[in-house]
Structure 1
Amino acid sequence: MAPYFLRNLLPKREKNDHARPLLTVLGELTFVQWALFFSGWLAWTCDAIDFFSVSLSVTHLQAQFNRSTHEITTAITMTLLFRSFGAVFFGVLSDRFGRKWPLVGNLLLICSLEIGVSFVQTFQQFLALRSVFGIGMGGIWGLAAATALENLPVEARGLASGFLQEGYAVGYLVAAVNNLFNVPEVKQGWRALFWVSAGLSMSAATIRALLPESEVFLRTKAMEVEKGHSTTQKTKVFLKETGEMLKKHWLLCIYAVLLMTGFNFLSHGSQDLYPTYLTVSKGISTDDATIATIIGNCGAIVGGVFAGWLSQYIGRRLTMLIHVMLIGLFIPLWILPSTFSGLAAGAFCIQFGVQGAWGVIPIQLAEMSPPAFRATFPGVAYQLGNMISSASAQIEATAGEHLRTTVIKDGVAKNVPDYATVQGILIGVVAAFVVVVTIVGPENHGSHFEKAKTAFEEGAADDEPIDDSARNDKLISTMATL
């Protein structure tokens, strides 16, 4: 008989026995549920727009600050390093005080920093602001995922996870289109990327501020008012339950960080230096590199949404494994062609695999996390993985300095970094690592995590679902008195 971790790749039959048809579930969603999902998706999209504005501007930043590719990618590394601090800070605020205002404050912070980045004059100023920016960016993913998913029915969460995560690809797409059409037309050049990012972040903050708090927190607050608990009492309970959760789930925490380390190496290793790889190692124009990036992100969106939907039926880990294995099959198409059409096809296929696997991550992390801490736990695991993989662009840049190739451009042979081989080796090794980690990991497919206690209630670390009828009755009576 096969080992348990292999037999457990498929979800248990009873998980789907009472599931309603997806179209029926989608048709029953309220305006508030749709709006909350959109606000979470938009917040995550804004995060990606800013992050990839730097990746797309590497050559412009080199000219602006007279620095090497390796030095410019230090800004990417510093942003990723500091994101863990933001994940802890904003995740704790969200699990303790609710989803709404921590996310609004988080978006306003990154809006302010984006405006600051657009006015820097020296590389030291740029590097300092991008480092601080990591704190702001670090909080977005966990808060956005909790906001988007916990207010939806279980049957819709797989598809929603795919759409949510591909806000990342949409953000890359928006940044690429902005870089292609807007940047060349304004005298400020690359700075225009961050003006657009700031405006969209402000819009996302405004939308979230206009929407209500998550229903889970409204119900809990109503119960806490009934009990007469003060803010001080709830904070003490929160700190106690956080400690209990860490003692109980320390092994799960380590596993989640390992999983997210592999996934972040996949995404950053295949995207951060990709435009530079096309222009330097393949000799194509900056505009064609941007178009190839756009095509690649179209593949990412298709892959992520498809995988999220598929995971609802065949399980989270099996869907992830299928897409990671596709990455291995697509690597030759990604790095061997020398024509634009071949490179664009490779970009589409590799991102279909990478972001297809990623499309399952929001719901996989939410379901496997301690349910009362589903903003802090997934967000911190995600950003710690980001921190460990933060040097991926620098690893590729440094390896490219030592592993070189010759390209013919305008009839002249030129010795350039062989980023194709470097990226192929890195992604192949990381994909194998992700396959192993995914197979041996847990899965809690179809978890009703919205029925768990919130982090400032006694017993929150026990992970046991509760009877929601009392909470619903109290919410109705409380809302009626407002």
Structure 2
Amino acid sequence: MSQSIHSIDSKLVHEHNKHIIKPPDFSLSSIKQYFVTRFTSLWVGTEELKQYSLSQVLNPFQPLVELNLHQWNFFAVSFLGWTLDAFDFFTTSLNVSNIAKDLNVSIYDITWGITLVLLLRTVGAVIFGLLGDNWGRKWPFIINLGILAVIQLGTGFVKTYKQFLAVRAIFGIAMGGIFGITCGDALGDAPKNARGVLSGIFQEGYALGYLFAVIFQRAIANTTKPGWRSLFWFSAGLSLLLMVWRATMSETDSYKRQKERMKENAAAKKNSKFAEFKSQYKKVIKTHWLIMIYLIIMMSFFNYSSHASQDINDKVTVINVCANLGALAGGIVISHASNFIGRRTAAICGNIIAGAFIYPWAFKPMWVTAFFMQFGIQGSWSIVPIHLSELSPASMRVFLSGVAYQLGNMASSASSTIEARIEQNLHIYGQTMSIFVGCVVACLFLTMLFGPENRGADLGMERDDELSVYDIDDEENDDKKEILNDTSCEKPEVEHKV
């Protein structure tokens, strides 16, 4: 086959190569440069902002028209999978007293079932993360949903407390595997311009799951003879419907390229697929170990901010509704803004908004304070799916994003205990909430300020291919050309890696 030298625009090559994450450099000059750029990179610059029209900046839904049917299909099934995950979780928390009465145990005993779920979610993230990265996302997702359906169905038939704990423990493992897989499929093939707002919409699926749980609690659990058991049986049916939908679909295009690359590398090295899988993971850990630690710390503070700010005025309906509306609005607005001003800067803006409303939210809870508090908290949260995806290596994106998320969730499970201890010492609830949330928001602010960023990075295996201004124009380089062509439509970014 004939080959010809094809010259590539140097600007496009630079845009591609600067997203490549390399092993951390601990030389004094590199450390100094890194910390200096944590401040200088917060502002993208007037020149970059001038490249966007006013409608692009103000209309968060405009990028969504770039999605085709294939991309919408994957986003929708993933979004609903994440929403169902939340729905299934809240079926227990909304029925703690009902289950305790039915099983003749205390409410405290039933809350151990919730604790088991939180503790075992990391196990599920590890298991399904490894499966999703190496054997595809389709069947691990279907199996995951199948386990959730069986467990929810079984929970509705439990007769003893021990049976309840057993099924909730297995549920925790299954629940922990959902985020990594659905996040990977939701954003994997999405256009770069739309990834910001899609990230926010996807993340708010968890809040939507809670809302659906409340609605169907009133519609089913409170009106049927089996009571709370009916709600668990109903959720099992929803999982089955989603399994059928996902079974009609293949893998994402980005995962197909990843699988083909792994196959080619294994053949070139005369390795088995499993040996190539281990080789890739060793390489990734060597390069990304510091980012892995950072992501776990970041997700711990994100989860703390969520739990700490949602425990006030839960019984006031109007305030709760306004808080959820604020979360939805913040999730869409700030995630969309992150495409222009950066993921870190967008999250920091959300933290500043939340920080400004801590005092009135804690001492004078009203609909407006609840709205803007959650606007800031959940607005910051909205960048999490895309930020995790851009910083995680393609070969272990499901694993790393899922494990980091669930480890952070496990770490934050102590938030209620910390709040109770502070309140015990101060004897003032509003002051307790304001101190704790203020500390969490400040820690998250610093974590985002000094953390890395990889805004606009490609989510495929080709991201780590270092290119030159000269490339061989043959079939083996089609992936590189595709990435460069995609990059040519993307606005230049400012700062991306450690």
Q: Normalising by the residue count of structure 2, what TM-score does the alignment of the two structures yield?
A: 0.78
Please give the alpha-carbon distance, in whole angstroms, between the structure 1 residues aligned to 2:109 and 2:432.
18
**1 or 2 for the larger relative contact order (CA 8 Å, sep ≥6)?**
2
Alignment of 1:400-419 (within 5 A): 402=424
Alignment partner, residue 491 of structure 2: none
Alignment of 1:5 onto 2:38: yes
Please give the alpha-carbon distance, in whole angstroms, between the structure 1 residues aligned to 2:190 and 2:108.
43
Deviations 1:126-180 (A, max 9, x none): 2332222111111111111100001111111001101110101111111122223
Alignment of 1:136 onto 2:174: yes
Q: Give the partner amino acid of 2:309.
A: S
Q: 1:45 and 1:14, CA in 2 relative to 1: closer, same or farther beyond 3 A?
A: farther
CA contact (8 A) 2:426 2:432 kept: no
CA contact (8 A) 1:70 1:398 kept: no
Identity of aligned residues (%): 39
Alignment partner, residue 259 of structure 1: 298
What's the CA shift for 1:209?
A: 1.4
Alignment of 1:248-287 (within 5 A): 248-271=287-310, 273=311, 278-279=314-315
CA contact (8 A) 1:69 1:397 kept: no
Runs (5+) with no aligned partner, structure 1: 280-287, 406-417, 454-461, 475-482
Alignment of 1:140-159 (within 5 A): 140-159=178-197
Q: 1:451 and 1:221, CA in 2 relative to 1: closer, same or farther beyond 3 A?
A: closer
Deviations 1:214-273 (A, max 9, x none): 1123234456677894997111111121122112221111111000000111222333x5
Q: 1:213 and 1:472, CA in 2 relative to 1: closer, same or farther beyond 3 A?
A: farther
What's the CA shift for 1:364?
A: 0.6
Deviations 1:21-47 (A, max 9, x none): 687753342211100011111111011
Alignment of 1:298 onto 2:319: no
3-state SS of paired residue (1:375): helix
CA contact (8 A) 1:173 1:294 kept: no
Q: 1:15 and 1:206, CA in 2 relative to 1: closer, same or farther beyond 3 A?
A: farther
Q: Give the partner amino acid of 1:6.
A: F
Runs (5+) with no aligned partner, structure 2: 1-32, 480-498
CA contact (8 A) 2:257 2:460 kept: no
CA contact (8 A) 1:372 1:463 kept: no
Match of 2:277 among 204, 220, 238: 238
Please give the alpha-carbon distance, in whole angstroms, between the structure 2 residues aligned to 1:243 and 1:225.
17
Match of 1:52 among 84, 90, 102: 90
CA contact (8 A) 1:452 1:465 kept: no
Q: 1:132 and 1:246, CA in 2 relative to 1: closer, same or farther beyond 3 A?
A: same
CA contact (8 A) 1:220 1:471 kept: no
Q: Give the partner amino acid of 1:263.
A: F
Report how many aligned residue pairs link the two structures.
437
Please give the alpha-carbon distance, in whole angstroms, between the structure 1 residues aligned to 2:180 and 2:345.
23
Please give the alpha-carbon distance, in whole angstroms, between the structure 1 residues aligned to 2:48 and 2:246.
33
Please give the alpha-carbon distance, in whole angstroms, between the structure 2 residues aligned to 1:111 and 1:361.
27
Alignment of 1:435 onto 2:445: yes
Q: Give the partner amino acid of 1:169.
A: A
Alignment partner, residue 385 of structure 1: 408
CA contact (8 A) 2:181 2:398 kept: yes
Q: 1:325 and 1:223, CA in 2 relative to 1: closer, same or farther beyond 3 A?
A: closer
Deviations 1:58-86 (A, max 9, x none): 34344445555544433222211111111
Larger CA deviation: 102-111 vs 16-25: 16-25
Alignment partner, residue 380 of structure 2: 357
Match of 2:393 among 370, 392, 400: 370
Alignment partner, residue 362 of structure 2: 335
Q: Give the partner amino acid of 1:378.
A: S
Alignment partner, residue 234 of structure 2: 196
CA contact (8 A) 2:266 2:276 kept: no
What's the CA shift for 1:298?
A: 2.4
Q: Give the partner amino acid of 2:95.
A: S
Q: Give the partner amino acid of 2:43.
A: L
Q: 1:3 and 1:98, CA in 2 relative to 1: closer, same or farther beyond 3 A?
A: same
Q: 1:127 and 1:17, CA in 2 relative to 1: closer, same or farther beyond 3 A?
A: farther
Match of 1:127 among 153, 159, 165: 165
Q: 1:82 and 1:223, CA in 2 relative to 1: closer, same or farther beyond 3 A?
A: closer
Q: 1:327 and 1:223, CA in 2 relative to 1: closer, same or farther beyond 3 A?
A: closer
Alignment partner, residue 91 of structure 1: 129
Q: 1:50 and 1:349, CA in 2 relative to 1: closer, same or farther beyond 3 A?
A: farther
Larger CA deviation: 187-196 vs 105-114: 187-196
Alignment partner, residue 117 of structure 2: 79
3-state SS of paired residue (1:374): helix
Please give the alpha-carbon distance, in whole angstroms, between the structure 1 residues aligned to 2:476 and 2:141.
25
Please give the alpha-carbon distance, in whole angstroms, between the structure 2 residues aligned to 1:228 and 1:243.
15
Q: Give the partner amino acid of 1:196.
A: F
Deviations 1:285-314 (A, max 9, x none): xxx54x643442222222111111111111
Q: Normalising by the residue count of structure 1, what TM-score does the alignment of the two structures yield?
A: 0.81
What's the CA shift for 1:371?
A: 2.8
CA contact (8 A) 2:258 2:395 kept: no
3-state SS of paired residue (1:299): helix
Larger CA deviation: 22-31 vs 312-321: 22-31
3-state SS of paired residue (1:180): helix
CA contact (8 A) 1:176 1:293 kept: no
C-alpha RMSD over aligned residues: 3.3
Q: Give the partner amino acid of 2:299.
A: M
Match of 1:324 among 351, 354, 358: 351
CA contact (8 A) 1:335 1:343 kept: no
Please give the alpha-carbon distance, in whole angstroms, between the structure 2 residues aligned to 1:46 and 1:330.
31
